[in-house]
């Protein structure tokens, strides 16, 4: 999708991720070249990406190795120069 001008409309879906869901979590409303870091509630990094448009997808795995456990995950988003930031949450229920 087309990149946004700012991070005011960032949206995470589906949220919550319910048991049996096999798709990807989509983070939309992103600006171009935004850095996305996803951590568990304890701050352990499980995914990192850079947007190349308005949306990225996360397959709910920790660096592509294994499915992450049930819990709340923090999504930290920052513009390329760090001037704009946003924090979102996603709940995963296995």
Place of tokens 């951590």: 39
Mean per-residue pLDDT for 59-65?
Answer: 95
Q: What is the DSSP string of 40-91?
A: ETT--EEEEEE-SSSEEEE-SEETTTEEPPSEEEEEEEE-TTSS-EEEEEEE
For residue 53, pLDDT beyond 80 = yes
Q: Provide the pLDDT for residue 2.
A: 85
For residue 1, pLDDT beyond 80 = no
What number of CA atoms fall less than 13 Å from residue 19's CA on the CB side?
1
The domain made up of 11-92 is a member of CATH 1.10.3720.10: no
Report pTM.
0.95
- Hey, where are the domains in the chain? 11-92
Per-residue confidence at 7, pLDDT binned at 50, 70, 90? very high
Q: What's the sign of the alpha-carbon dihedral 80, 82, 12, 38?
A: positive
For residue 49, pLDDT beyond 80 = yes
């Amino acid at each position: 999708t087309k990149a946004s001008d700012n991070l005011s409309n960032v949206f995470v879906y589906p949220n919550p991720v319910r048991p049996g869901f096999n798709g990807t979590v989509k983070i939309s409303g992103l600006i171009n070249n935004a850095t996305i870091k996803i951590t568990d509630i304890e701050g352990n990094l499980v995914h990192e990406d850079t947007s190349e448009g308005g949306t990225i997808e996360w397959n709910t795995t920790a660096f592509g190795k294994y499915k992450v456990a049930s819990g709340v995950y923090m999504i930290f988003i920052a513009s390329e120069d760090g001037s704009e930031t946003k924090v979102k949450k996603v709940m995963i229920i296995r």
